[in-house]
Structure 1
């Protein structure tokens, strides 16, 4: 896949890979981290690092990741991190919803927000 026309597909593929990293960490660390909010925040932060590098180098094919895009990415992901962790805490710890069902729902919402902000601001 080459060119800007392939970017949406690349964005989705990297998003799926990042989500897989997130879920793998979520399941692997659940037995060691009791707080769902801390668990979700840590897993999200680690998958966010993978995502920034992969989106920059593959999706947007930058030769060098810039401080400008990193700063913008960090702002967007910081907001997404807060939404993800708080929503997971509310749904799982507060309302008693199942961990994975809650994360699937929260992930979908957060992904749409991140895509829109990335497309119109982060990588401009």
Structure 2
């Protein structure tokens, strides 16, 4: 005796689009939180790197987002070692990377929670 089963799915209006866009929104939220939490760790002398970082915000689309300090010298400051005598306490090189590593679980958790389907 065969067990025949038939299933059909009827999408609620907007549900399919919400489901498909959730990963993109989560990735954007991860980038945004990383940028926001990194602000106080971006080396500060004139303030230009912090200003350009916040002004540029999050760039990209379709789940491929990036952040950066858009100054001509950020790439040099990025690789400076921890032992560098920073002009402001709490600043360091690789600020986005270090901030994300430190808060990764929290950042990801919040990003998922904020963008979960309801």
TM-score (norm 2): 0.34
Q: Which structure carries more helix by proportion? A: 1
Higher Cα Rg, which structure:
2
Q: Which structure carries more strand by proportion? A: 2
TM-score (norm 1): 0.32
